[in-house]
């Protein structure tokens, strides 16, 4: 039987768990950062979601060489010129913490992709900004925000996994005045940032945001050694990893556009979109359609009556840009210049009908209109003129139809002007996609073509809670392909840390991380599968290590038909 590892024995010998603290980035305990930002603690009553990813070396280079329980966070204001603020509070703030499955320098615009399976809600309640004042540029100001965590987070920086802090800042109920926080950018003055942020200012429900790399707030972490604590630690990686595939046609000039009076229907296949000749026709906007208040190079977000599926996610809103495209939310920008690189690396799903320089604010131009009839949402560019257009000869009429019930999307083209710059037509899912090059849609459309293949992310296994003796937890498998039929839960006492390569079984890229001592089955639903694990109330089990891994049968995904997850090391204990 495998017992506890040496570092846990060493920590267990510590008579008392004395609280300690460190400041990240390393080198800024008494040095002011070289930047400042209001995201999120200076926005007062404006809601947002923001993630900060801190490099693990901020901990290891400051002496944290074993697992610790993080019990408190603190942030401080940026000095700048002498000033003061009244302070205030938010009644409802949620903060999650997790080890990051990706390095901060390779962080994803998709929030969920930066959260490991140990993601834990460490706070769900008020956050207070203390009143204070600055003493001038370059003078460190005392911490103005102290956040004791209601649920401490177990973090082991020696694994090399970075630390993600995920803040859902609900601005509702805010009262008072705050101050921009102290940040470090780039190489900094006291040391490099070695971290990043990912943010969405539209509210707390966003699933993707905008990345600022090498940019992080000065943060104090209070922690205690993890003596006597049960914990679950991820090791290894799951399989398989298939990137998003998107398609588009980039018309060099608007005169080259050849899709007038055609319809493209994007049919969801569960793994992407199949483009087929249109199944619908143009529907003129009704007299009750909403005229969107769009100006030149602008966007507006409209709500849907329900949720529409997009790959493995969904949206209950559409963001309409005046320049001929629709997104699943804010974040894709309002550029008037069609650019494949921008399109393929968008933070939101992007339906590009006629990405072109359009301006509904020109006197005489038609408008962009929105309405939902039953389960169909219509976005119509109703005679919108090209930028610099002078007459109705420069009008563009086309329509996007979104079927909330089925997830089908229809591009319905009427007439498109040939004035001005080029046009980009296609679809790109949220997150990066490799560039397939411009295709010829009109040549492919008499038949069908794969318009998009949604990413298949590696199967991930995590524990619902720490494996405390005498409790029951769930072993949760996520990123299960929708075609996954049956799951296999593996429990073992022998760890294969580097993994046994399963290519010989017909599972290339997959590894076995645990001996097959006990197995059970589960049935995944909606991309997730769960297996219960009851831990006997026997204190003698303290320090016992159980290894676990999952696998899922996905017919046709490889020669053997199975994919496997990462391993999880469950160290049992009484607390």
Burial of 575 (0-12, 13-18, 19+ CB in 10 A): exposed
- What is residue 417's predicted lDDT score, i.e. its pLDDT? 93
pLDDT at 396 over 90: yes
- What is residue 473's predicted lDDT score, i.e. its pLDDT? 95
Mean pLDDT of 311-328: 90
Mean pLDDT of 61-67: 86
pLDDT in tens, 12-23: 222 234 578 999
- What is residue 136's predicted lDDT score, i.e. its pLDDT? 81
- Report the percentage of the chain scoring pLDDT > 90: 76
- What is residue 13's predicted lDDT score, i.e. its pLDDT? 26
CB count within 10 Å of CB 138 equals 10
- Give the residue extent of every domain in the chain: 18-226, 235-241+457-571, 245-453
Which residues, in sequence order, are CB contacts of 207 under 8 Å at separation 6+?
Answer: 110, 111, 112, 313, 329, 430
Residue 492's DSSP bridge partners are 547
- What is residue 358's predicted lDDT score, i.e. its pLDDT? 97
- What is residue 18's predicted lDDT score, i.e. its pLDDT? 57
- What is residue 331's predicted lDDT score, i.e. its pLDDT? 85
Pairing of β 20-24 and β 219-225: antiparallel
Q: Look up residue 13 and give its two tokens.
A: 């010998």
pLDDT in tens, 490-532: 999 999 989 999 999 999 999 999 999 999 999 999 889 999 9
pTM of whole model > 0.85? Answer: no
- What is residue 3's predicted lDDT score, i.e. its pLDDT? 30
Residue 210 in contact with residue 199, Cβ under 8 Å? yes
Q: State residue 6 phi and psi, 5-degree precision.
A: -55, -40
> Distance of CA 184 to CAs 28, 198, 219, Å?
9, 15, 10
Q: What's the chain's average pLDDT?
A: 91
Residue 442 in contact with residue 258, Cβ under 8 Å? yes
Rounded-to-integer distance, Cα 112 and Cα 93, Å:
18
pLDDT at 225 over 80: no
Torsion of CA 9, 15, 21, 27, to 10 degrees: -60
Burial of 7 (0-12, 13-18, 19+ CB in 10 A): middle
Q: Which of 66-70, 220-224, 251-255, 391-395 shows the lowest per-residue confidence on average (mean pLDDT)?
A: 66-70
Q: Look up residue 60 and give its two tokens.
A: 């290891």
Fold for 235-241+457-571, please state it.
Answer: 2.20.130
What radius of gyration, in Å, describes the C-alpha atoms of the chain? 26
Q: Of all helices (H) and strands (E), which one includes residue 396?
A: strand 395-403
**pLDDT class for 134, splitting at 50, 70, 90?**
confident
Region of 329 on the Ramachandran plot (φ > 0 left; ψ -120 to 50 alpha; else beta): left
pLDDT in tens, 445-491: 999 999 999 888 899 998 988 899 999 999 999 989 878 999 999 99
Pairing of β 181-185 and β 35-37: antiparallel
pLDDT in tens, 280-297: 999 999 999 999 999 999
- What is residue 418's predicted lDDT score, i.e. its pLDDT? 84
pLDDT at 421 over 50: yes
- What is residue 63's predicted lDDT score, i.e. its pLDDT? 87
Secondary structure (3-state) at 458: coil
- What is residue 5's predicted lDDT score, i.e. its pLDDT? 29
pLDDT in tens, 339-371: 999 999 888 899 999 999 999 999 999 999 999
| Nearest by Cα to 248 from 439, 453, 501 | 439
Rounded-to-integer distance, Cα 531 and Cα 473, Å:
9
How remote is the C-alpha of 115 from its chain's centroid? 8
pLDDT in tens, 68-105: 889 899 999 999 877 889 999 999 999 999 999 999 99
Q: What DSSP designation does 7 have?
A: H
Q: Look up residue 347 and give its two tokens.
A: 């933070």
pLDDT at 233 over 60: yes
Q: Write the DSSP assignment of 310-348 as a string of letters.
A: ETTEEEEEEEEETTTEEESSS-S---SS--HHHHHT-SS
- What is residue 438's predicted lDDT score, i.e. its pLDDT? 97
pLDDT in tens, 21-49: 999 999 999 999 999 999 999 999 999 99
- What is residue 17's predicted lDDT score, i.e. its pLDDT? 42
pLDDT at 404 over 50: yes
């Amino acid at each position: 039987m495998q017992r506890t590892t040496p570092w846990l024995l060493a920590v267990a010998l510590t008579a008392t768990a004395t609280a300690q603290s460190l400041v990240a980035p390393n080198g800024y305990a008494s040095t002011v950062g070289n930047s400042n930002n209001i995201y999120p603690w200076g926005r007062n009553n404006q809601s947002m979601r923001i993630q900060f990813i801190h490099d693990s070396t901020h901990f290891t280079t400051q002496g944290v060489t074993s697992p610790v329980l993080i019990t408190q966070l603190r942030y401080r204001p940026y000095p700048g010129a002498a000033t003061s603020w009244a302070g205030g509070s938010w009644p409802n703030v949620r903060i999650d913490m997790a080890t990051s499955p990706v390095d901060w320098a390779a962080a994803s615009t998709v929030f969920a992709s930066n959260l490991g399976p140990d993601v834990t809600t460490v706070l769900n309640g008020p956050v207070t900004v203390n009143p204070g004042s600055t003493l001038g540029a370059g003078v460190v100001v005392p911490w103005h925000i102290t956040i004791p965590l209601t649920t401490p987070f177990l973090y082991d920086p020696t694994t090399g996994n970075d630390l993600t802090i995920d803040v859902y800042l609900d601005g509702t109920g805010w009262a008072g005045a705050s101050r921009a926080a102290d940040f470090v950018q780039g190489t900094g003055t006291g040391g490099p940032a070695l971290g990043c942020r990912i943010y969405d200012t539209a509210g707390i429900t966003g699933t993707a945001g905008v990345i600022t790399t090498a940019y992080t707030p000065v943060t104090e972490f209070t922690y205690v050694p993890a003596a006597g604590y049960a914990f679950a630690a991820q090791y290894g990686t799951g399989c398989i990893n298939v990137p998003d595939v998107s398609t588009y046609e980039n018309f060099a000039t608007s005169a080259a556009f050849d899709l007038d009076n055609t319809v493209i229907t994007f049919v969801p296949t569960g793994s992407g979109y199949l483009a087929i000749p249109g199944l619908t026709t143009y529907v003129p906007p009704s007299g009750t359609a909403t005229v969107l208040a769009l100006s030149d190079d602008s966007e507006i977000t409209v709500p849907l009556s329900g949720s529409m599926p997009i790959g493995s996610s969904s949206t209950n809103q559409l963001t309409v840009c005046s320049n001929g495209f629709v997104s699943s939310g804010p974040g894709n920008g309002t550029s008037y210049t069609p650019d494949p690189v921008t399109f393929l690396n968008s933070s939101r799903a992007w339906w590009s009908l006629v990405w072109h320089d359009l301006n509904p604010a020109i006197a005489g131009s038609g408008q962009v209109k929105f309405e939902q009839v039953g389960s169909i949402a219509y976005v119509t560019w109703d005679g919108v003129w090209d930028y610099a257009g002078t007459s109705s000869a420069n009008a563009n009429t086309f329509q996007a139809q979104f079927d909330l019930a089925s997830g089908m999307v229809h591009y319905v083209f009427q007439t498109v002007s040939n004035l001005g710059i080029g046009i980009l037509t296609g679809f790109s899912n949220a997150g990066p996609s490799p560039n397939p090059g411009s295709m010829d849609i009109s040549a492919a459309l008499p038949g069908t073509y794969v318009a998009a293949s949604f990413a298949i992310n590696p199967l991930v296994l995590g524990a619902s809670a720490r494996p405390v003796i005498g409790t029951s937890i769930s072993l949760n498998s996520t990123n299960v392909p929708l075609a996954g039929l049956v799951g296999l839960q593996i429990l073992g006492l022998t760890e294969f840390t580097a993994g046994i390569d399963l290519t010989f079984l017909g599972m290339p890229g997959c590894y076995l991380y645990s001996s097959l001592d006990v197995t059970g089955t589960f049935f995944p639903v909606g991309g997730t599968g769960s297996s219960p694990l009851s831990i006997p109330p026997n204190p003698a089990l303290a320090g016992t290590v159980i290894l676990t891994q999952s696998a899922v049968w996905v017919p046709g995904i490889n020669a053997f038909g199975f994919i496997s997850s990462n391993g999880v090391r469950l160290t049992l204990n009484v607390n």
